[in-house]
């Protein structure tokens, strides 16, 4: 009787241990998939290959009314930030993009998809530093293969795409930039940027 109980007890503990190891393995796989999605290393939808020339666009800043075009992508690194008026994460990201938080980051151009009145709510958050484009925003998002919001597209000084990511705040965007622009050894598959993130300073 005691022997049978002991065997059952051991078997149950073995089953619990096996299930625990299986759950740990699944969590690790999920974490890796999330990391790849975050870094842009996992192909999603119609994203353009890294090293592609950034598609042209022309629009107007909702705040100032001035024209903003893809010509401004040349001569230095840029971030194209695609937002949605209905996206809660986008609102939190915009809230975090204060002047102090964006110090040291390359210029950002934001696009907003959705109702104009709702998109205008981003204007006081982004200020004059970050133009907010509504006109042809969805068309431009499609040109860049963006299907979810928020999405950041990193463009280098030659006007080529160097990374995709989904930042949740300014620090996250900084880490994305640090990794996407850190290494460049060519434009083919073997020369695409390594998107291993570097840690941004936590002093913001």
Tell me what the mean pLDDT of segment 182-204 comes to: 38
pLDDT tens, residue by residue, 136-166: 999 999 999 998 999 999 999 899 999 999 9
Q: What is the DSSP letter of 93?
A: H
Q: Order of strands across the sheet with 78-84?
A: 132-133, 108-113, 78-84, 151-155, 161-165
- CATH fold of 58-191: Glutaredoxin (3.40.30)
Q: Are 132 and 103 a contacting pair, CB within 8 Å?
A: no
pLDDT tens, residue by residue, 15-40: 777 777 777 766 665 554 454 444 44
How far is Cα 93 from Cα 105, in angstroms, rounded to an integer? 15
DSSP code string of 126-172: HTTTS-EE-TTHHHHHHHTT--SSSEEEEE-TTSBEEEEE--SSHHH
Question: Is the peptide bond preceding residue 35 cis, with omega within 30 degrees of 0?
Answer: no
Q: Are 163 and 193 a contacting pair, CB within 8 Å?
A: yes
pLDDT tens, residue by residue, 86-121: 999 999 999 998 766 677 788 999 999 999 999 999
Instruction: State yes or no: pLDDT of 54 exceeds 90.
Output: yes
Q: Return the pLDDT at 26.
A: 65
Tokens standing for residue 70: 């893809």
Per domain, the residue ranges of the chain are 1-39, 58-191
Cut 0.85: pTM above it? no
Q: Return the pLDDT at 153.
A: 96
């Amino acid at each position: 009787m005691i022997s049978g109980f002991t065997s059952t007890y051991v078997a149950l503990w073995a089953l619990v241990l096996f299930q625990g190891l299986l759950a740990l393995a699944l969590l690790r796989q999920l974490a890796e998939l999330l990391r790849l999605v975050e870094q842009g290393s996992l192909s999603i939808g119609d994203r353009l290959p890294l090293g592609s020339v950034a598609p042209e666009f022309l629009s107007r800043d909702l705040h100032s009314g001035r024209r903003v075009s893809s010509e401004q992508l040349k001569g230095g690194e840029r971030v194209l930030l695609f937002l949605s008026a209905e996206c809660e994460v986008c609102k939190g990201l915009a809230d975090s993009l204060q002047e102090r938080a964006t110090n040291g980051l390359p210029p950002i151009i934001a696009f907003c998809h959705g109702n104009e009145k709702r998109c205008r709510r981003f204007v006081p958050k982004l200020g004059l530093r970050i133009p907010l484009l509504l006109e042809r925003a969805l068309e431009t998002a499609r040109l860049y293969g963006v299907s979810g919001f928020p999405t950041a597209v990193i463009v280098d000084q030659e006007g080529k795409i160097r990374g995709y990511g989904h930042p949740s705040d300014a620090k996250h965007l900084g880490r994305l930039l640090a990794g996407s622009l850190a290494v460049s050894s060519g434009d083919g598959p073997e020369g695409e940027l390594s998107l291993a993130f570097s840690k941004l300073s936590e002093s913001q």
